[in-house]
Structure formats: structure tokens, C-alpha cells
Amino acid sequence: MTDVEWAVVRPLLPVPGWLRGRGGQPEAYCHRAILDAVRYLVDNGIKWRAMPADFPPWDRVYAFFRRWRDHALVKEFHDRLRSRIREREGRDTEPTAGVIDSQSVKADAVVGSTAVASTAASWSTGASGTSWSTPSVCCWG
């Protein structure tokens, strides 16, 4: 994630409880590093345990993702980012129309709920080219 992208994304993320005076310990990994790891995972179609070593440990990344997902923060983050982009483009913050593909609707009626879809995951053997600061440094300071 570039510094420009981070400048846009950072204010949209939830502020950790310890920074709001709710107690607890500072988190061991910067949210920027966690988001970069999740973006890498989604972009390359890898499994959690196949996370390259230059990212935080896979189990910590997964724990953050799971916590954000379970508290609906992933959806909230997506909605905030979408609203911000739409506002910048001079559009209403909420979409007012949707598109439904008629072929998809027909396929839904034909394909049973027990059908299994398989997709080929793409594997990346190269380094991500991203450097990280030390894990104890927080990006909120």
C-alpha cells in the first residue's frame, strides 16, 4: 500500500481501544501491515498459512481479519470507502440503482444449492517487494 493510499484508508479504520483510553495493550502489528497482508492474500489467491514471511504471521493477520469481519468492520470499512469515492466523484454517497444479469437469475433456478464450484488459485513465487517496519512500531502514532 502506498503512502497516498494509506493516507486515504487510515482515517476509515477503527481506532484501537488502547488509544481511546479503554485499556489493554498496544497491538503488536501495524494495521497497515495487516491490510497489506490481506490485500496480498486476496490478490494472489493464496491460503492463510502460505503468507510470505515479510508479512506479519498468518495467524495474527487472520485473527485481525476475523475480528474485523465478525464485528462487521469489513463491511463498514467498504461502505465508508465507497461513500468517500462516490462523494469525491460528485455522486450520491449511496448507490441508487443495481444491475441484475438475467442469465445469472436463470442459472440460480437451474443450479442446485448442493452444486460445488471450483476455482484455480493463482500462486505467486516472487517476493512481494514490500518492506516492513519492526512489529512493535504502531502506525497510529
What is the per-residue pLDDT for 51? 92
Q: At what angle do helices 31-44 and 58-70 cross, to 10 degrees?
A: 90
pLDDT band of 135, cuts 50, 70, 90: very low
Residue pLDDT, tens place only, 47-64: 999 999 999 999 999 998
Tell me the three-class secondary structure of the chain, residue by residue.
CCHHHHHHHHHHCCCCHHHHCCCCCCCCCCHHHHHHHHHHHHHHCCCHHHCCCCCCCHHHHHHHHHHHHHCCHHHHHHHHHHHHHHHHCCCCCCCCCCCCCHHHHHHHHHCCCCCCCCCCCCCCCCCCCCCCCCCCCCCCC
What pTM did the predictor assign?
Answer: 0.58
pLDDT given for residue 71 in this prediction? 83
pLDDT for res 7: 86
